[in-house]
């Protein structure tokens, strides 16, 4: 990718800790394009936060190269921070200060941010800036963190678990904010355990495992590997076992079960991975009263990938 269109470019990036040489990240290769939203997912301890902190020069890489917005992450860290905002996974604000006082301190370091911009974001996030931070819930503290991350017109936003503690309405507002900054040309790298959040806003997703970049794929590629849950009800419940037997022999189909008794008598449930044409061929050979197949989501795809890394 052309460096002029690249927000993040990591090559063989490694961070080892202490004399034991325990590794936080290992040989990470990652490219984030200008205006791209990339989701970073992985279990706790996978290396997501280490990667993000390395980007902001809070910790130094042991080896490899890392460039942000065309600049070296170590030698040009000050210039980078003028164009990047960062939301850490663990927010720490002085408890005695009000939200407005926290914002005022931030504005002193970011003079380009206007009071109007702060007001618009406070309204969108429904955040009360008049109360002491120490009196706020985790979700309300997170709102202040989001306000600070989105207030500048940054070229790159690095967001670590950005919706932690937020209710579903605010999660949707967050998704809208991400789409807007990306439409304005900013790049966004966000880590999350909320798989639906990543699915809504990211074009690509990077899976990390034990400090390594496990896979980087488009959202459609990841979802294609996920299991879709389906249900089929034969017109005659007596034919359910025959349908189930054919499904068990169908490529890509697994977890076939038949309900026996009650209102679900004769209902056949199953999971399918990948191409559904073989499934449809099997179902078409049986007269059905109903059939439905759920949309594969990122959470299913994510756990499928971790269970089967091939």
pLDDT confidence bin for 249, thresholds 50/70/90: very high
Per the structure, how many domains does the chain have? 2
Could you say which of 223, 240, 258 is where a domain stops?
Answer: 223
> What's the pTM?
0.82
Helix or strand (DSSP H, E) at 123: helix 115-125
Is residue 185 located within the same domain as residue 72?
yes
Burial class (CB in 10 A: 0-12, 13-18, 19+), 54: buried
Range of the domain at 266: 227-296+303-307
Is residue 235 located within the same domain as residue 157?
no
CA distance 194 to 142: 15
**Least-confidence region, from 14-23, 149-158, 182-191, 211-220:** 14-23
Of 40, 51, 70, nearest to 204 by C-alpha is: 40
Is residue 163 located within the same domain as residue 79?
yes
Q: What are the Cα distances from residue 310, in Å, to 100, 225, 305?
A: 50, 11, 8
Structure token digits, residue 143? 């709102």
Q: Is 189 left (phi over 0), alpha (psi -120 to 50) or beta?
A: beta
207-246 tens-digit pLDDT: 898 899 988 999 888 877 778 899 999 999 999 999 999 9
Structure token digits, residue 196? 């639906």
CA distance 102 to 104: 5
Could you say which of 223, 239, 256 is where a domain stops?
Answer: 223
Is residue 77 located within the same domain as residue 215?
yes
pLDDT of the residue at 4? 55
Structure token digits, residue 133? 């931070």
Is residue 219 located within the same domain as residue 279?
no
Is residue 128 located within the same domain as residue 273?
no
Is residue 48 located within the same domain as residue 166?
yes
């Amino acid at each position: 990718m052309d460096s002029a269109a690249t927000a993040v470019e990591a090559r063989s990036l490694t961070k080892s800790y202490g004399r034991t040489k325990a590794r936080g990240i290992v040989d990470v290769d990652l490219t984030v394009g200008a205006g791209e939203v990339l989701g970073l997912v992985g279990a706790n301890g996978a290396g997501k936060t280490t990667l993000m902190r390395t980007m902001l020069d809070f910790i130094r890489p042991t080896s490899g190269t890392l460039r942000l917005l065309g600049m070296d992450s170590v030698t040009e860290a000050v210039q980078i921070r003028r164009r990047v905002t960062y939301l850490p996974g663990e927010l720490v604000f002085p408890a005695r200060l009000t939200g407005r006082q926290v914002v005022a301190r931030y504005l002193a370091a970011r003079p380009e941010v206007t009071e109007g911009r702060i007001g618009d974001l406070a309204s969108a996030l429904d955040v009360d800036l008049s109360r002491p931070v120490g009196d706020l819930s985790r979700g309300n503290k997170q709102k202040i963190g989001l306000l600070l991350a989105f207030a500048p017109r940054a070229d790159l936003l690095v967001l670590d678990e950005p919706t932690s503690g937020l209710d579903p309405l605010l999660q949707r507002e967050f998704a809208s904010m991400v789409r807007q900054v990306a439409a304005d040309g900013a790049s966004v790298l966000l880590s999350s355990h909320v798989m639906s959040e990543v699915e809504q806003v990211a074009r690509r997703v990077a899976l990390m495992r034990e400090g390594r970049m496990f896979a980087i794929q488009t959202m459609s590629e990841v979802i294609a590997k996920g299991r879709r849950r389906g249900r089929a009800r034969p017109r005659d419940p007596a034919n359910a076992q025959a349908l189930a037997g054919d499904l068990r022999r169908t490529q890509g189909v697994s977890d076939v079960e038949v309900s026996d008794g009650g209102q679900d008598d004769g209902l056949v449930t199953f999971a399918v991975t990948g191409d559904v044409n073989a499934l449809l061929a099997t179902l078409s050979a049986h007269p059905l009263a109903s059939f439905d197949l759920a949309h594969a989501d990122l959470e299913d795809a994510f756990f499928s990938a971790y269970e089967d890394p091939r």
